[in-house]
């Protein structure tokens, strides 16, 4: 259990990290791009859920926007530690010399099934994500397989069955069925803050290395995200409060 003064230190540290990353001179010194995520999940019951996500990325700090994506899908919880998903979306990559500069590097529609395995060791949570991508791109059809390994650790005093802070570290590798087979490696370190059980704020750092591909550029990014998770019960509660 984290004491109140330590919890305050965590909040101040989060604010300091946010200030440093959003300070233009600091961001330019690190040559940071921006990686922005907005997510929504709706739990139909204990097994089935719907989800959607949008991303917006830039190669400079909130300048030289070159990429956006949006996707939606359905998930099924096979059991407590196994989750299956199926999703589809649009993935658009522009020329790197300005904000959404034409011509596009890639115009893509993608379908992907996914398997996530969870395991806990004490408070530490281990996630392994396997995703197969069927990619219909402006440069022809492609296949790709992705594997992500992640660790997360909760921080703070539990309230309403959740802890307010969580540290996440992930590494992900991308492979294809054509030479040179290895495409990309993505590494991130993120601090999550839950102001409520249904909402999560993310702030962190992401590094992406690309090998001989032209649909995106790898470099360092300031990552910020916001996600909402609702259920039928919580949605009905919100609707009842609005109708009062």
**What's the rounded Cα separation, in Å, for the pair 88 and 86?**
7
**What's the rounded Cα separation, in Å, for the pair 168 and 67?**
24
**What's the rounded Cα separation, in Å, for the pair 107 and 102?**
11
Give the start-end residues of each E strand in the chain.
33-43, 48-60, 63-79, 82-95, 101-121, 124-137, 140-155, 165-175, 182-196, 199-210, 220-231
Q: How many CA atoms lie within 13 A of 1 on its CB side?
A: 5
Instruction: Look up the pTM and report it.
Output: 0.82
pLDDT tens digits for range 172-203: 999 998 888 899 999 999 999 999 989 999 99
pLDDT tens digits for range 72-102: 999 999 999 999 999 999 999 999 888 999 9
Domains of the chain listed by start with CATH number: 32-194+206-242 (2.40.160)
pLDDT bin (cut points 50, 70, 90) of residue 114 is very high
Q: Which residue has the tokens 């509660």?
A: 237
């Amino acid at each position: 259990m984290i004491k109140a003064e330590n919890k305050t230190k965590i909040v101040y540290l989060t604010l300091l990290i946010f200030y440093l990353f959003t300070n233009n001179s600091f961001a330019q010194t690190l040559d940071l791009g921006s990686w922005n995520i907005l997510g929504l999940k709706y739990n139909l019951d204990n097994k089935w859920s719907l989800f959607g996500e949008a991303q917006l990325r830039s190669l400079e700090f909130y300048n030289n926007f070159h990429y956006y994506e949006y996707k939606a899908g359905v998930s099924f919880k096979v059991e407590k530690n196994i989750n299956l998903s199926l999703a589809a979306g649009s993935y658009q990559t522009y020329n790197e010399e300005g904000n959404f500069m034409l011509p596009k590097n890639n115009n893509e529609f993608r379908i992907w099934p996914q398997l996530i395995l969870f395991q806990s060791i004490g408070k530490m949570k281990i996630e392994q994500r396997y995703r197969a991508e069927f990619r219909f791109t402006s440069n022809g059809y492609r296949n790709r397989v992705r594997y992500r390994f992640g660790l997360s650790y909760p921080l703070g005093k539990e309230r309403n069955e959740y802890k307010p802070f969580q540290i996440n570290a992930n590494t992900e590798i991308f492979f294809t069925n054509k030479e040179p087979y290895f495409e990309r490696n993505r590494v991130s370190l993120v601090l999550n803050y839950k102001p409520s059980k249904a909402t999560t704020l993310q702030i962190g750092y992401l590094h992406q290395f690309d090998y001989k591909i032209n649909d995106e550029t790898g470099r360092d990014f300031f990552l910020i995200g916001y996600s909402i998770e609702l259920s039928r019960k919580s949605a009905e509660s919100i609707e009842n409060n609005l109708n009062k």
